[in-house]
Amino acid sequence: MSSDTAPTNYAVQTHEVSPPIEEYFFEGAEKLLELWFCSSTGSSGSLRNIPRNEIDAMLDIARCKILHSKHNESIDSYVLSESSLFISDHRVILKTCGSTRLLAALPVIMQLAGTYAQLDQVQSVYYSRKNFLRPDLQPPLHKNFDAEVEYLDSFFEDGHAYCMGSLKQDRWYLYTFHREVEFPVHKQPDHTLEILMSDLDDNVLHKFTKDFAVDGKDCFMRAGIDKIIPAGADVHDELFDPCGYSMNAYMNDSDQYATIHVTPEKEFSFASFETNQDLVCLYSQTRKVLQCFKPGKILLTVFANDVSVKGKDAQQQLWDRELIGYRRTNVQFVRLETETLVYAHFVRKSTQDTSSSDEDDGERSD
């Protein structure tokens, strides 16, 4: 063949390549921040003096918003687009799910406490969460617990970090800080029960959809939430479209509260219950919660300070007794700076106790 032969031209047919369709996912497990404030001068301001527009701006930073609110003489309750906010005189509880940036709001909350409530000292901090199913979808600050601890340590000296449970199964992370102050908040009996539930029963999931209930009030009654919350509680709730449910309640003109959040999609179903009420037995209330949601897996914690008789009773029962229909795979006791904590993990007896690879989320700490 001659070297000066012209090259043959070939027509190249091209096709537009569509990007892969990413399946919808929502992280139901919440990030939970509880802050207790006091004053270095002994002044008696209230966090409830923080204006609504300032609260809205703070929540914008966390990437959530207020849907509606209710108030009594002791507490302000807000149902959010992603979970809940409670504000009492000296305490803020912010609980957010999805890919929210909860800890980014921390410095703003501290600033607002000093500006509007003259509460310039953080007396106690509790930050906790379950391991995420998809930590890769979280903002950088929340992709792993080590990053969260480093961030919190930049505000609080001598904070303590814990990982409760097996690194091969569901686990629970906790950061605490307590400061000895000259003018502490008056110590009263205080406890908190939190139940984190996953793999909800198929017959339960549809109850938290618009196909089943008209609105939050309808869902509250028809899904059986009314059997969990103590009688006489003031309730406000939201049934999302097409699915999902959030509820806040407070008790008898006190700062006792309860909150429930449900992510009912089968592939990543999740529900949480939290309360500090002392009107009914916490162990009995736990059993009612499980009867309502019928989860496959349970992560349960009970905090109690030294003067909370009912909190310590719930801890003792959780330590001594099994939950009907469930097998306890892990139970731990921790003495913290100012209270005690019991953690337990349960699986439904009808399911295999196997470690699932989708929970090995790379958040292990050396």
Residue 240 assigned ligand-binding role: yes
Q: How far apart are the C-alpha atoms of 298 and 287, rounded to whole Å?
A: 12
Residue 359 assigned ligand-binding role: no
Taking 3-state DSSP, the helix, strand and coil percentages for the chain, each rounded to the nearest 5, stand at: 25, 35, 40
Tokens of 46: 């209230």
Secondary structure of 111-155 in the HEC alphabet?
HHHHHHHCCCEEEEEEEEEECCCCHHHCCHHHCCHHHHHHHHHCC
Residue 363 assigned ligand-binding role: no
Q: How far apart are the C-alpha atoms of 28 and 88, rounded to whole Å?
A: 25
Secondary structure of 238-263 in the HEC alphabet?
EECCCECEEEEEECCCCCCEEEEEEE
Please name the residues in contact with 7: beta carbons below 8 A apart, sequence gap of 6 or more. none
Beta bridge partners of 332: 343
Q: How far apart are the C-alpha atoms of 107 and 62, rounded to whole Å?
A: 11
Q: Which residues are catalytic?
A: 83, 97, 246, 261
Mapped onto helix, strand or coil, the DSSP state of residue 57 is helix
291 near 299, Cβ under 8 Å?
no
Residue 82 assigned ligand-binding role: yes
CA distances from 103 to 31, 109, 139, 153 (A): 9, 10, 11, 12
Please name the residues in contact with 363: beta carbons below 8 A apart, sequence gap of 6 or more. 131, 132, 135, 144, 145, 146, 173
Task: Report the binding-site residues.
Answer: 26, 82, 240, 265
Task: Report the binding-site residues for substrate.
Answer: 26, 82, 240, 265
